[in-house]
Structure 1
Amino acid sequence: MTIRFQADADLNHNIVVGVLRREPSSDFQTALVAKLEGLPDQEVLAIAAKQGRILISHDQRTMPLHFADFITTQTSPGVLIVPKTLLISEVIDSLILIWAASTADEWTNRIIFLPI
């Protein structure tokens, strides 16, 4: 199954734009389209899971804890945590590599911190 990404509301929008510009056939939904702004982490995780999308977030503080709790009762397509200190170009490269070289099944119930 092909990887589909979901941007969290805190994710730098330039990352989404950069991935889509370099790989137009990728599927990367913005937080605005998914209406994630202001929602608690558990709801964001549930929306991404319902749509079969790997969540991409800058939230290193609370998202890992909520993810750990979420997967005790539900299945997640996965979460990728992107430190804000990482160069945007490096994040874009990493996401395109993940999209091109792996399948969605490989990320189920996994949380990964970039860079990998």
Structure 2
Amino acid sequence: MTLKYLMDENVDPVYVTQLRQQAPDLVVRAVGEPATPSTGTKDPEILLWCEEYEFILVTNNRRSMPVHLTENIAQNRHIPGIFILSPSLSIGKNIEELILIAQGSFDDEYQDQIVFLPLTQVGDVRL
């Protein structure tokens, strides 16, 4: 797994705990931990940190994050990506999505993009 996740401070801490338990090879950090942005850091500064340290931001901020990403790109900055958790999925399903994405993604696959979970869809398979 080459993707690294930075969990926004408003994401339930159980995500960090469960991701670390279920995918120990996945690098997962949370805002407020040592060597990460401190709690209360503004979103544009978090995006700069993610760019510098090559972390994908995982957040539940659907409202202002598109604006921040647009501003970031306008300044000729680049971010590895932003994943927005689905409020309609359980924590467990969101975690499964994050692990599947990390296991099956290429470097820079999500650069300068906002990805809304879920990426996978379970439905009828018709042959």
**What stretches of structure 1 move > 3 A for 4+ residues in a row?**
none
Is the CA contact 2:47–2:79 (under 8 Å) kept in the aligned structure 1?
yes
Q: Root-mean-square deviation (CA), in Å?
A: 1.4
In the alignment, structure 1 residue 83 sits paired with structure 2 residue 83: no
In the alignment, structure 1 residue 27 sits paired with structure 2 residue 27: yes
Tell me by how many angstroms 1:104 deviates. 2.6
The normalised TM-score by structure 2 is 0.85
Percent of residue pairs bearing the same amino acid type: 28
Segments of structure 1 that go 5 or more residues without pairing to the other structure are none
Is the CA contact 1:8–1:36 (under 8 Å) kept in the aligned structure 2?
no
Bigger Cα Rg: 2
Partner of 1:64 in structure 2?
66
Is the CA contact 1:4–1:26 (under 8 Å) kept in the aligned structure 2?
yes
**Whole-Å Cα distance in 2 between the matches of residues 53 and 107 of structure 1?**
11
Q: How does 1:38-77 map to 2 (within 5 A)?
A: 38-72=40-74, 73-77=76-80
- TM-superposition CA deviations, 1:63-102 (whole Å, max 9, x none): 1211121122201111001134421001110000011011
The normalised TM-score by structure 1 is 0.93
| Structure showing the higher helix proportion among its residues | 1
Amino acid across the alignment from 1:39:
T
**Whole-Å Cα distance in 2 between the matches of residues 95 and 36 of structure 1?**
23
Tell me by how many angstroms 1:17 deviates. 1.1
In the alignment, structure 1 residue 114 sits paired with structure 2 residue 117: yes
Tell me by how many angstroms 1:37 deviates. 1.1
